[in-house]
Amino acid sequence: MKLLNLTQDFRGLAGDILPDNLRFGEIFGKGALKQVPPDQVKHIPLNPRTETYEDLDSRSRSLIKKTIDFFEERGKQQLKEDDHNRTWYQDFLDFQAKEKLFATFLTPSEYGARDARWDTHRNCALNEVLGFYGLAYWYTWQVSILGLGPIWISDNEAVKQRAAKMLKEGGIFAFGLSEKEHGADIYATDMILSPQDDGSFRANGGKYYIGNGNQAALVSVFGRREDTDEYVFFVVESQHENYELVKNVVSSQNYVAEFRLNDYPIREEDILATGQDAWDMALNTINIGKFNLGWASIGISTHAYYEAINHASHRWLFDHYVTDFVHIKRLFTDAYTRLTAMKLFAQRATDYVRAASHEDRRYLLFTPMVKMKVTTQGEEVINELWDVIAAKGFEKNMYFETAVKDIRALPKLEGTVHVNMALILKFMPNYFFNPAEFDEVPPHTEPRNDDFLFNQGATKGLGKTRFHDYQKIYDQFDLPNVNRLQKQIRLLKLMLMTAKPNEEQQKDFDFLLNLGELFSLVVYGQLILENAQIQKLDNALVDQIFDVFVRDFSKYALELAQKPSATALQQRITRRMIQRPAVDHDRQQHVWENYAYAQRDQYEMKD
């Protein structure tokens, strides 16, 4: 049956590599592209001044608005001074402690007060806000999430109760995984737990790149037992006399620590897990935590966009405002559509995180996509905006000057882009050629605890994960550039069927990276279309987003065609993937006027 299906697919796809005059013709959008009236335009990027957070319960809404007010009252000047002076953000930590912010958002409901729960939907809202005002504030929240992950995953009730109490007292947390000599190669950990005669242990070894390592109430530490060589997760306190804080390894507001444990006494009740459970705990915590990096990138890029459009639209050069120039309109339009796409994808991925179960593990593809694809798209947004504002982006009083520095960090944290791309490629065969039936996933904005995140189980067998058929949502959008991308996708599938990577190419990660970029665009487009349908977005905006995707797909296809190891057939097919987006000047003008340029003077952080 599978062979028959592939044969039928091949017959449908083969026409895409024939000469134009032998094909039945290309598929374009039918009829005029409908546009919503200006008064019905819906903006996806965050505006802290106007966002109502109506989808949140009253307590969550109040806490996020108080967080926004905290930063707005401090003002941009103080924000920038603290960044330049590398000031530890004690005032923010005092604020979150007073308001029980982390305690409310990061304590599972069974261990916290009435409004406490681990609710990924509202956590993402706070992610975005903290990123919007500065990566430093987001970072202390993020590494607390990582530090708490092993604790909430574990069966150690004593440590869970300690952590809940410390959160209530305003504590922050840390995740002691990476090491100076081994980086993210956790197979080779040199953190050693040595058994003692009385049944306790002594911990010795160092950890590196550990955020919050200076003040963490608890640090979740990964190591191995000296006697059995088994992996182990345990907790330590950063203020203990046997915890040596060596130094801050970065020059920023954050304290990213190198620390050493010197005969640190570990009791049985300090141990979270051993063996395979400890290994799974490490990877499942990263599944929870790395998802947040995309949201930080969304927040940073959004703030930078407001600053750039405000500056450019008021700057008069050569008898014109800067935003009158055609190339400037294109840069802003591309930046706005990329930013909108970033948030649409991350929102929809959140639904799959909240819908996850042992039977539905689609989130394992979508979370590294948020980490890898959304963060690299954030870099693209900043690059496009910087091409507009040029030297202004270096000025010390601009948020943008901080953004261009911070946006670079996100693709490089919690596993590099390359590591996450290698992970994503494992899902490609089943995604394209072995779809399964699933119930439709609705938007999950309800206030509930996401219990499954701390019960993910074994981390093996990723390649067996099944997905729903991506073609169904693509077929529901008869838009010129969605159709154009579909043609490119069919050619990608054809290459995988008739000219798949050979044994040598499968070892050539440079080749695979480009292939992964093409695959990731398919997944990216899928979830964006799903969310666009849910939110009833303007078709003109959706088609403009896919105008960008057609160009991106063409760029990666060209790079793949030019790889030294690309075969003649692979080159032929990838060159056919290079497509020009469907041009519609009315659509472009509509998106420029009602979306990209419409953000002018809508938000500015006061000094």
Question: What is the rounded CA–CA span in Å between residue 71 and residue 606?
Answer: 10
In the structure, what pLDDT confidence band is assigned to residue 586 with cuts at 50, 70 and 90? very high
State the pLDDT confidence band at 416, using cuts at 50, 70 and 90.
Answer: low
Residue 529 pLDDT more than 60? yes
Say if residue 218's pLDDT is above 70. Answer: yes
Q: What is the pLDDT of residue 27?
A: 31
pLDDT tens digits, one per residue of 426-445: 999 999 999 999 999 999 99
CB 152 within 8 A of CB 118: yes
Q: Is 341 helix (H, G, I), strand (E, B) or coil?
A: helix
Mean pLDDT of the chain: 92
- Dump pLDDT digits (tens) for 158-201: 999 999 999 999 999 999 999 988 776 777 899 999 999 999 99
Least confident of 18-32, 301-315, 409-423: 18-32
Structure tokens at 283: 């990877």
Are 173 and 217 in contact by the 8 Å Cβ rule? The answer is: yes
Find all residues with CB under 8 Å of 430, minimum gap 6, and list them.
463, 464, 465, 466, 467
288 contacts 451 by C-beta, under 8 angstroms:
no
How far apart CA 367 and CA 294 sit, in angstroms, is 9
| pLDDT-derived band at 415, boundaries 50, 70, 90 | low
Q: Are 212 and 255 in contact (CB under 8 A)?
A: yes
The pLDDT value given to residue 414 = 64
CB–CB of 607/81 below 8 Å?
Answer: no
| Domains delineated in the chain | 2-30+290-435+467-599 (1.20.140.10), 58-172 (1.10.540.10), 174-281 (2.40.110.10)
pLDDT for 22 equals: 33
Q: Which two tokens stand for residue 588?
A: 């472009």
